[in-house]
């Protein structure tokens, strides 16, 4: 049986500035993912450095830090069966010029830095990222009436 997973999505400054927020959220909802947390926030240096720890020492990191602070971002925690891989398909590859049409990056970006969204790349990373951006009381548990139709073969 497939497993319920949670994942983090960050709607980046380029998407905010280009008025793509509604379109981005719509695509995840249309797929059947359940939003369990959603908020707009400004990112502080410490959070950016923690989130991008794997590239913090790279020469291009200051540009990424400045980009992520250019305006508020929207962070969203979502849940669903095989959510991480489903989200990665919706988002497309990091190098947006390689992304297929129909993906968020394929439809709206040609960049690596200004590539519309961040999406967790694995289940463990997703849990750490959700904890980084959300307090426990900011995440919600609730039933959705369409669950049986979205996950028909995975009914409990």
Tens digits of pLDDT across the chain (156 residues): 567 999 999 999 999 999 999 999 999 999 999 999 999 999 999 999 999 999 999 999 999 999 999 999 999 999 999 999 999 999 999 999 999 999 999 999 998 889 999 999 999 999 999 999 999 999 999 999 988 888 887 654
Query: Which of 107, 104, 134 has the alpha carbon at shortest distance from 118?
Result: 104
Reply yes or no on whether 51 is catalytic.
no
Helix (H) or strand (E) holding 66: helix 61-68
* Domains in the chain: boundaries: 4-151
Instruction: Output 89-98 pairs: Cβ under 8 A, ≥24 positions apart.
Output: 90/27, 90/28, 90/31, 91/9, 91/116, 91/117, 91/119
The pLDDT, as a whole number, for residue 3 is 79
CA dihedral 101, 107, 110, 115 (to 10 degrees): -120
Give, for 75, the enclosing helix (H) or strand (E). strand 73-81
Q: What is the pLDDT of residue 62?
A: 95
Residue 137: per-residue pLDDT: 98
- Measured CA to CA in angstroms, residue 35 lies from 38, 75, 90 at distances of 7, 11, 15
Distance in angstroms (rounded) separating the CA atoms of residues 29 and 92: 17
Specify the pTM: 0.93
Quick check: helix, strand or coil at residue 119? strand
What local confidence, expressed as pLDDT, does residue 154 receive? 66
How far is residue 23 from each of residues 11, 16, 26, 32, 154, measured CA to CA in Å? 11, 11, 5, 15, 28
Specify the CATH number for 4-151; select among 3.40.228.10, 3.30.70.141, 1.20.1050.10, 3.40.50.2300: 3.30.70.141
Q: Which of 98, 103, 138 is nearest to 119 (CA)?
A: 103
**Of these residues, 51, 54, 118, 154, which one is catalytic?**
118
**From the CB of residue 39, how many other CB atoms can be counted at a distance below 10 Å?**
13
- Res 155: pLDDT: 56
pLDDT (0 to 100) of residue 111? 87
């Amino acid at each position: 049986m497939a497993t319920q997973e949670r994942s983090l999505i960050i709607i980046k400054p380029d998407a905010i500035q280009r008025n793509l927020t509604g379109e981005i959220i719509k695509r995840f909802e249309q797929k059947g993912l359940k939003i369990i947390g959603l908020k707009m926030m400004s990112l502080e240096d410490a959070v950016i450095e923690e989130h991008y720890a794997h590239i913090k020492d790279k020469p291009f990191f200051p540009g990424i830090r400045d980009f992520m602070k250019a305006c508020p971002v929207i962070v969203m925690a979502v849940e669903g069966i095989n959510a991480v891989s489903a989200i990665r398909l919706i988002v497309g590859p990091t190098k947006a010029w390689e992304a297929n049409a129909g993906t968020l990056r394929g439809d709206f970006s040609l960049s690596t830095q200004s590539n519309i969204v961040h999406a967790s790349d694995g289940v463990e990373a997703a849990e750490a990222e959700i904890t980084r951006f959300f307090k426990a009381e900011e995440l919600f548990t609730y039933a959705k009436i369409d669950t049986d139709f979205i996950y028909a073969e995975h009914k409990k």
